[in-house]
Amino acid sequence: MELSKTDTAAIKGIAIILMLWHHLFLNTMAYGNLTNSLAVVFKVCVALFLFVSGYGLTKQYSQLDKPYFKNTLKFLLRRYVNFFLPYWFCFVLVVVVGNICGYSFSEAYPSSRNTLKCVLLDIAGQMGYNSYLNPWWFNKMIIQLYLVFPILFLIICNKYLSWVGLALIIVAQLYAKNILGHVFFIVEGGLPAFYLGMLCARCRLVPEANDGKWRPLLFFEGLFVCIGLAVLHLMVVKDPYVAVLIRALMALCIIGVYKSFGNQQTFALEFVGKYATFMYLIHMLFIKLIPGVIYGVKYSVLVFMLFVAVCLVAAMLIDALEKLSRYDRLRVGVVKLIDKW
């Protein structure tokens, strides 16, 4: 399966839309059971982001002439620069605005007596679920996945080892609470979807809808499987470790459904996906600061549309500020220095 940059942006757009619904309505029964159930299922957004990350990294790494130690180190450094510099820019804005508007460090880190330590760990993306904003737990997981990526790449380069690796990941995930406890990414649920994305970059896991007459069939097949997995997730699977595997398969189905559209226009999704990173980093701040405004509308769909609009506009403003301050040039400059090394 081939995913272009346009496809990647559109899938990120889908993922961030699902994430906003997930964080808006999870355990918020005021809008009904259906709204809450969709919020539970829409945690698949994490698997979608991880899938795209694994896919993109594999495609980029495959283009290295000689992926030896030095080139691998440079590759990872570039990846971390592209992750951390936008995150730090947004971190400063969020923390300043949050503290001015009443969301203090003591409220964000209630169980810690050492605020400075928490802030420094948050800057390093290592606070996990205790981050200044809860969704930033994802940072810790993706940072660790970047570290193990070169090892995973060596595994998927072998036709037989790649499937053995997938089987081992499934087994490890199923027995994670018994054999691994709280070992970083396995429990967080990152590895299955990330590894599936890597496999899709090397193998044909999702059929291409090159012939127009097959697109409706692929669309409905993918849709029915996705709905079936969602029902299984809600009604049957209660174990969070198994749910992670279900969501990884759901992500694969969602991407299959998206690809069944062929070359249809997805401008709106691509546009939203362009700002997905900043929307992910800031959206929870609005829920913390202005819940009365966000939840002030009676109908869940209207609440959601308002929230998407607010987050998208805020992300666009942050993107413009980054360019206006020339902070984005710092990232480009650091990457060039790494390339010259």
Q: How confident is the model over 12-47, as pLDDT tens digits?
A: 999 999 999 999 999 887 888 899 999 999 999 999
Range of the domain at 269: 5-340
Q: Taking 60 as the threshold, does the pLDDT of residue 228 lie above it? A: yes
Confidence of residue 89 (pLDDT cuts 50, 70, 90): very high
Query: In sequence order, which residues have a C-beta less than 8 Å from that of residue 324 and are 6 or more positions away?
Result: none
Determine contact, residues 94/282, Cβ cutoff 8 Å. yes
pLDDT at residue 210, as a whole number: 55
Number of domains in the chain: 1
Q: Taking 80 as the threshold, does the pLDDT of residue 277 lie above it? A: yes
pLDDT at residue 187, as a whole number: 41
What's the rounded mean pLDDT across residues 238-246?
Answer: 82
C-alpha angle 157-158-159 in degrees, rounded to nearest 5: 110
Q: What are the distances in angstroms from CA 142 to CA 115, 136, 148, 210?
A: 24, 10, 10, 33
State the Rg of the chain over Cα: 20
Higher pLDDT, 99 or 259: 99
Higher pLDDT, 109 or 224: 109
Determine contact, residues 3/52, Cβ cutoff 8 Å. yes
Record the pTM: 0.91
Higher pLDDT, 17 or 70: 17
Closest C-alpha among 266, 321, 284 to residue 12? 266
Please state, for a pLDDT cut of 90, what percent of the chain lies above it: 55
